[in-house]
């Protein structure tokens, strides 16, 4: 439970506030700060023309705009700066502002600090959005007024005055959001840890340290949920401040949640059988078990069961698109890391035609080739990393003396058409790129929607 928000209102009034980044979460934040009578300057790399109406709206309410390539040159003279998660805190402009005594924070940090409701924070390398959504659904089914935010849903800080202490708030938190946090959620959940975002983090250690902030500032009465089957995550148990619960698909656990004899258990009670759940794959069994652990103190087995047996998943995550000539097409555009792609390939009962490749996040592709070659019937590669992935696969397949057809496509639509050409009735085609989308698309959703559009037109 957070501090009283009236303290923040008094604190912010009349202050000089800089907001860096005019994106989805900061637009409502800027309007909210204006409403709280702060003197606001908004900074963004985008130009006035690109921002269009957003820029005009801000000027009409008295927000000063600093735009264009040199937008970070003048972060001086502010009482407070709200930064966007994707810019590193060790950026020289922020370091200089901090030296001048400016308080640097983020929308999410202030929200957690002042949120009156119980907060559940979900982080990890894979499974965050699905797990966050399952927790949200369980709490809603139990009858709580529940809010969902962070990386998904709506920016919540601007709605903080509508949230009561009886409500529940579920947040998906990325390593970028956590990196600068000095406040933790009441319940912290770490789904798993594997190399990720090494294009922005200096190294794996920095990435894990960012994730630790989700529980670092907890009190002894708070709770952390950890994955017993993932060594990097399980090792964090030695550093926790609050109570710990574990989930596992490998062993029976007295407390927490586990999978045994085809049943999903929470606190030693059967919630449901694996045949009753609509989500494919063991990674989704893990996501359900994680959510059971997180909600054990607040929700009944009935609510867990209802969600587990009806939830069909989140778009772009193993999403069934359609069947054409006996071939099933799946959209798994969210899979922007090799581990994510491995998990979704293993969810299918047979080898599939895989479309992969994209923007290079500097994560090694060896695990994908080592662990998933037997789950791939044909590999179709596209995007910036296509040759890099092919090279890794060819080397590992040679070692294993195995052959696998690898096809290179020049464009995204060509990749899908080549998949259709090699597929025969009974086959499965999945877009599960193992890479981010920024080489060709704005984000994974745009990529997934384009894929669906092309598949629907086949």
Which tens digit of pLDDT belongs to each residue from 116-175? 999 999 999 888 999 999 999 999 999 999 999 987 777 899 999 999 999 999 999 988
Which residue's entry shows tokens 């090792």?
A: 235
Residues of the chain with CATH 3.90.190.20: 319-456
Average pLDDT, the chain: 93
pLDDT above 70 covers a percentage of the chain that reads 98
Domain 109-310 coded CATH 3.40.1190.10: yes
**Among 109-118, 255-264, 307-316, the least confident range:** 307-316
pLDDT at residue number 196? 59
* 416: helix, strand or coil: helix
pLDDT over threshold 90, residue 93:
yes
pLDDT at residue number 349? 83
Q: Within 13 Å and on the Cβ side, how many CA atoms surround 190?
A: 32
Element (H, E) at 421: helix 412-422
Q: Any idea which fold 7-105 has?
A: Rossmann fold (3.40.50)
pLDDT at residue number 199? 60
| Span 79-83, average pLDDT | 96
Report residue 289's pLDDT band, with 50, 70 and 90 as the boundaries.
Answer: very high
Output 154 or 441, whichever has higher pLDDT. Answer: 441
Task: Say if residues 54 and 27 touch (Cβ distance below 8 Å).
Answer: yes
pLDDT over threshold 70, residue 1:
no
Task: Say if residues 317 and 452 touch (Cβ distance below 8 Å).
Answer: no
pLDDT at residue number 197? 54
Task: Say if residues 303 and 138 touch (Cβ distance below 8 Å).
Answer: yes
| Span 28-42, average pLDDT | 96
pLDDT at residue number 344? 87
Structure tokens at 18: 């800089």
Best-predicted range by mean pLDDT (55-69, 188-202, 314-328): 55-69
| Span 252-260, average pLDDT | 94
Residues of the chain with CATH 3.40.1190.10: 109-310
Q: Please write the tens of the pLDDT for every residue from 192-211.
A: 887 655 565 667 788 888 88
Q: What are the Cα distances from residue 366, in Å, to 207, 214, 359, 396?
A: 20, 30, 17, 8
pLDDT over threshold 60, residue 302:
yes
Q: Any idea which fold 319-456 has?
A: 3.90.190
Q: What are the Cα distances from residue 182, in Å, to 75, 113, 213?
A: 22, 9, 7
pLDDT at residue number 202? 65
| Span 241-256, average pLDDT | 94
Backbone angles phi, psi at 247, to 5 degrees: -130, 150
* Integer Cα distance of 25 and 157 in angstroms: 9
Helix, strand, coil distribution of the chain in percent, nearest 5 = 40, 20, 40
pLDDT at residue number 126? 84
For residue 43, what are the β-bridge partners? 20, 66
pLDDT at residue number 155? 82
Q: What are the Cα distances from residue 307, in Å, to 83, 143, 319, 450?
A: 36, 13, 18, 30
pLDDT at residue number 194? 78
pLDDT at residue number 280? 85
* 250 Cβ contact list (under 8 Å, min separation 6): 228, 229
Element (H, E) at 93: helix 92-99
* 434 Cβ contact list (under 8 Å, min separation 6): 335, 336, 337, 338, 340, 341, 356, 357, 358, 365, 368, 389
Structure tokens at 440: 């060709």
Output 61 or 207, whichever has higher pLDDT. Answer: 61
Report residue 398's pLDDT band, with 50, 70 and 90 as the boundaries.
Answer: very high
Task: Say if residues 142 and 120 touch (Cβ distance below 8 Å).
Answer: no
Residues of the chain with CATH 3.40.50.720: 7-105
* 12: helix, strand or coil: helix
* Integer Cα distance of 305 and 259 in angstroms: 14
* 37: helix, strand or coil: coil
Element (H, E) at 428: strand 428-431
pLDDT at residue number 273? 97
Task: Say if residues 192 and 227 touch (Cβ distance below 8 Å).
Answer: yes
pLDDT at residue number 279? 87
């Amino acid at each position: 439970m957070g501090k009283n928000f009236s303290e923040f209102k008094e604190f912010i009034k009349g202050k000089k506030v800089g907001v860096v980044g005019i994106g989805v979460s900061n637009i409502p934040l800027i309007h909210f700060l204006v409403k709280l009578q702060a003197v606001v300057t908004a900074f963004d790399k985008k130009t006035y023309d690109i921002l269009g109406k957003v820029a005009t709206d801000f000027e009409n309410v008295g927000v000063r705009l600093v735009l264009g390539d040199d937008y970070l040159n003048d972060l001086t003279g502010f009482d407070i700066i709200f930064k966007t998660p994707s810019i590193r805190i060790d950026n020289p402009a922020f370091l200089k502002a901090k030296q001048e005594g400016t308080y640097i924070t983020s929308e999410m940090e202030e929200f957690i600090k002042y949120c009156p409701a119980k907060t559940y924070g979900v982080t990890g390398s894979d499974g965050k959005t699905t797990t966050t959504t399952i927790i949200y659904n369980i709490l809603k089914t139990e009858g709580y007024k529940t809010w969902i935010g962070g990386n998904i849903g709506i920016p919540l800080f601007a709605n903080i005055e509508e949230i009561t202490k009886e409500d529940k708030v579920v947040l998906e938190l990325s390593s970028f959001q956590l990196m600068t946090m000095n406040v933790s959620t009441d319940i912290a959940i770490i789904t798993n840890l594997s190399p990720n975002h090494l294009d922005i983090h200096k190294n794996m250690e920095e990435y894990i340290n960012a994730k630790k902030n989700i529980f670092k500032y907890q009190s002894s009465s708070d709770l952390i949920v950890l994955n017993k089957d993932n060594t990097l995550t399980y090792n964090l148990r030695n550093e926790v401040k609050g109570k710990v619960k574990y989930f596992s698909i490998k062993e029976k656990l007295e407390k927490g949640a586990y999978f045994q004899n085809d049943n999903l258990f929470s606190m030693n009670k059967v919630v449901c059988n694996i045949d009753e759940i609509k989500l494919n794959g063991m990674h989704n069994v893990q996501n359900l078990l994680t959510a059971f652990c997180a909600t054990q103190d607040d929700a009944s087995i009935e609510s867990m069961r209802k969600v587990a047996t009806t939830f069909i998943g989140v778009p772009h995550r193993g999403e069934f698109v359609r069947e054409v000539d006996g071939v099933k097409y799946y959209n798994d555009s969210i899979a922007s890391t090799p581990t994510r792609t491995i998990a979704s390939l293993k969810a299918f009962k047979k080898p599939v035609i895989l479309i992969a490749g994209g923007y290079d996040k500097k994560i090694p592709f060896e695990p994908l080739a080592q662990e998933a070659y037997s789950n791939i019937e044909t590999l179709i590669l596209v995007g910036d990393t296509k040759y890099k992935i092919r090279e890794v696969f060819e080397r590992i397949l040679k070692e294993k003396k195995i052959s696998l057809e690898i096809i290179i496509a020049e464009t995204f639509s060509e990749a899908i058409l080549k998949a259709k050409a090699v597929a025969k009735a009974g086959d499965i085609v999945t877009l599960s790129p193992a890479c981010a989308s920024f080489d060709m698309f704005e984000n994974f959703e745009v990529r997934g929607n384009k894929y669906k559009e092309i598949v629907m037109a086949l």
